[in-house]
Structure 1
Amino acid sequence: MLMMIMFLLSSLILSTSVIESVLVLILNMFLLILLNWDFTHTSISLFWSVDFFSYNLIMLSVWIIIMSLLVSLSEYSWNNKNWFNIINLFLLMFLILSFIFKDYLLFYIFFEASLIPILMIIIGWGYQPERLMAGIYMLFYTVFGSLPLLGLVLFYMGSTGQGSMNIYVSLIGYNTWVEIMVMGAFLVKFPMYMLHIWLPKAHVEAPVSGSMILAGILLKLGGYGLIRFLPMIVKFHSFKMKFMILSIALMGGIFVGLLCLRQMDMKLLIAYSSVCHMAGCISVLMILGELGFKGCLFMMVAHGLCSSGLFYLVDIIYKRSSTRSLFMNKGLLNILPNLSFWWFMFLLANLAGPPTLNLFSEICMLLNLVSWSKFNIPILAMITFLTGAYNIYLYSLSQHNNYLFSKNVIKGCSFLNYYILFNHLVPLNIMILSISSFY
């Protein structure tokens, strides 16, 4: 109900055109249905249904879009803000439809349609001329990765006469290439190591709202797609394919963790840390365990809130110092002591400290991976150590030491800044209190 009230208040403030008003009305209808939904009856119709996974990701999408709309209050001029709000509302509509449709083809259509609004945000509101190249990287990586999936979905629907995710036919699974086509489309968007080249470029060139949406929601579409499409592959218990993807994901988490320790751009460091966190999600999905699936969902929700808040923190500093360099922004504790508390809390959540939802999701994933193979223990220990190391590195280098007073004096934060940070941090810490209801 709190989310519904926030969305209504933000829509009243931000909707200034007929198109926005119509979109807000439609989205309010969706939310009224979802907030009162009974999970004992998951099927709405032949094409629509809402279950535990889709419900949580829809609520995450609404929450992050609300934060993005609030950011636009102080970021953009009135004319640009109108267009920005319309694009955000269209993006939210595409996301909700992609999460509630249980038809493979309709899911694919809205899965790909969600790329268009974020591409418009990067190109239209990016900071540097390189934003066009970053948008092209993102578009070509994700579209070419998912084109084989379109052919597979059409073949599946033509062979079986239906495309519902709730009805599985033992038609596909005898070919290794089928497994690659299914997983490739989603591993690019997750993204997995070696398929992540587009992500740092998109984050660096995107505005703060684009980075919040990209890390908070769009990366989670890859995990949701894997959860929905893995049952298509009846013979997915092929050890070679599962072991190869799991090994690349886990070793990639180590390599990206080491890469984070040499970054001087705060935004780039947080972007690479997303790849490191998603490595665990990819690994547990390959095992196909119930505990891993739920741990992956909790990690996606927790990471969406945490990374979105961290990107907003970086933007607060960037707006005041005109740089994201850790070398130029050291000693922020002397200038903005109140903001240092938020840095500490979000980085604590990012390294899975208590009492955040990140901790519970990490425990679920570690238990699943260790129970599958004891040989994962050294790799997981290294990833955990590196996760703590680069978060401590980011905090100590940015908050401690002496501030460079040769720059302009940094002004304080507004109430809106703290309000947006508060609405990222509170759900991240209180959701673990209701964790018993998930089981």
Structure 2
Amino acid sequence: MLKIIFPTIMLLPMTLLSSPKLLWTNTTMYSLLIATASLQWLSPTYYSNKNLSPWSGIDQISSPLLTLTCWLLPLMIIASQNHLQQEPSPRKHIFIMTMIFTQPFILLAFSAQELTLFYIAFEATLIPTLILVTRWGNQPERLSAGIYLLFYTLTSSLPLLISILYLHTQTGTMNLIMMKLLHSPLTNSWSGLLSSLALLLAFMVKAPLYGLHLWLPKAHVEAPIAGSMLLAALLLKLGGYGIMRISMLTNYSLDYLFYPFLTLALWGALMTSSICLRQIDLKSLIAYSSVSHMGLVIAATMIQTHWSFSGAMILMISHGLTSSMLFCLANTNYERTHSRTLLLTRGLQPLLPLMSTWWLLANLTNMALPPTTNLMAELTIMITLFNWSMPTMILSGTAILLTASYTLYMLLMTQRGPIPPYITSTQNSTTREHLLMTLHILPTLLLIMKPELISGIPS
């Protein structure tokens, strides 16, 4: 674990000491080296926990998310290069350091075996994200988005802290492995029920559950490209991962506690897919599609079977790569047209033919077409949902139908149709952008050959 965390922390002084000419090369190459080293975490092992220490450990649930975290930092640096071209050198250094600063906290949150450490790392990720959104966002509304993000997160995480302290008084330990071995401390009493609710609430807001999701579209729309990638690919996954970890501690006899969450998650997947069909802002459309996909993840984690956890894990990794790629594509359009409005950025296929290929690939992956891991994830989740209760077929089936509809709508609106008369010339797509898209789509296509690496089930 320290073999990755220490080099990541050492990225900070390296960024400070790099000359402006070599800044992007140094940080990208170094972070790519860290990402390559992190692939060893995916290797199958006989033991359920690797690198186990009193405060951290890696198992089948955390290893794919840890690798995704390391993989995304170089991609965020590559994507931000054009966005920061006009900025003075000190600001470039500060921006890259803010991005790097997030990674050790996310790595700690995903690998923590101790609830206090998990809580501190979980909350600490908010600080750099808030700085990215409020300082480097594009419009004045970024301050309002930052306030939404801050207060939604803080309001929901205070009950989580109280519940963690209550668990400590009940069990005498904060170690997750010890807590799993002990008999469930949360009884059928009112205190047990409220503690279970408080434990789940913070992660439901982070995931986000429909009804607690209003901060997400605002934060996505106002954030710079690195902020959007960070939110979509990693911070939402902290919510799903937290639910997986904490639901193992809640009382199994409290089945009725999960019904409202399941219903809201599936209804939310349906509603947000419908909202996507009416969006005029490209980034807002992709943000709402994230809420829809994470709704399926929440529904799967609530059922708590091997299959549902496996489906949720695969969908989290697939969605992390796909939504991040869609935000990068939306950003390439925005850098050329300076607008995110779908009606004003139509017909870009004749102007950027290679980019339209990436658009097609990203949208087909988002629709969960074979042979992508998204399809495997959605099929697994569907089977567990139908097995749990047949009427879920109506909600989840309609949501998936609507997902295909809004994805095709997004593809047709951006790529087809007449070229707007005011677009007289556009900058050609660059090698940097093609490399960025390749590094997003390649893992998605390769993982279908060995999906057990990310399925969360011991191989």
Q: Tell me, yes or no, whether TM beats 0.5.
A: yes
TM-score (norm 1): 0.92
Residue 368 of structure 1 is matched in structure 2 by 384
Task: Map 1:222-371 to 2 at 5 A.
Answer: 222-234=239-251, 236-371=252-387
Of 207, 220, 245, the match for 2:224 = 207
CA spacing shift, 1:406–1:72, aligned 2, 3 Å: closer
- Preserved contact between residue 321 and residue 408 of structure 1 (Cα < 8 Å): no
Q: 1:3-30 deviations in whole A, cap 9, x for unaligned?
A: x9xx99xx69x73428x999x9999789
Cα separation, 2, equivalents of 1:316 and 1:232: 44
Which deviates more, 38-47 or 94-103? 38-47
Cα offset, 1:419, TM superposition: 0.5
Deviation at 1:273, TM superposition (A): 0.3
2:91 to 74, 80, 102: 80
Q: 1:380, 1:272 → 2: CA distance?
A: 16
CA contact (8 A) 1:173 1:232 kept: no
Q: Quick one: structure 1 residues 197 and 358, their matched pair in 2 at CA, closer, same or farther if it must change by over 3 Å?
A: same
Decide whether aligned partners of structure 1 residues 113 and 325 sit closer, same or farther in structure 2, where only a CA change above 3 A counts: same
Moved more, 171-180 or 333-342: 171-180
- Answer yes or no: is 1:427 the counterpart of 2:427: no
CA contact (8 A) 2:32 2:71 kept: no
Amino acid at match of 1:56: P
Q: Is 2:136 the partner of 1:120?
A: no
Given candidates 19, 31, 39, the residue that maps to 2:45 is: 39
> What's the secondary structure of 2:113's corresponding residue?
coil
Change (3 A) 1:173 1:233: farther
Give the root-mean-square deviation of aligned CA atoms: 2.6
- Within the candidate set 49, 65, 88, 2:57 is matched to 49
Distance in 1 between residues matched to 2:263 and 2:80, nearest whole Å: 41
- Structure 2 CA distance for partners of 1:309 and 1:30, relative to 1, 3 Å: closer
> Scaled by the length of structure 2, what TM-score is found?
0.88
| Number of aligned residue pairs | 430
Distance in 1 of aligned mates of 2:405 and 2:300: 23
**Is the 8 Å Cα contact of residues 69 and 85 (structure 1) preserved in structure 2?**
yes
Q: Structure with the greater relative contact order (CA < 8 A, sep ≥ 6): 1 or 2?
A: 2
Question: What is the 5 A alignment of 1:29-178?
Answer: 32=37, 35=40, 39-41=45-47, 42=49, 44-76=52-84, 77=87, 78-168=89-179, 169=182, 170-174=184-188, 175-178=192-195
Instruction: Report if aligned partners of 2:321, 2:444 keep a CA contact under 8 Å in 1.
Output: yes
Secondary structure of the 1:359 match is helix
Identity %: 34
**1:181 aligned onto 2:192:** no
Q: SS of the residue aligned with 2:342?
A: coil
Give the Cα separation in 2 of the matches to 1:248 and 1:38: 36
Deviation at 1:292, TM superposition (A): 0.6
Which AA in structure 1 matches 2:154? V
Alpha-carbon distance between aligned partners in 2 of 1:256 and 1:292, rounded to the nearest angstrom: 22
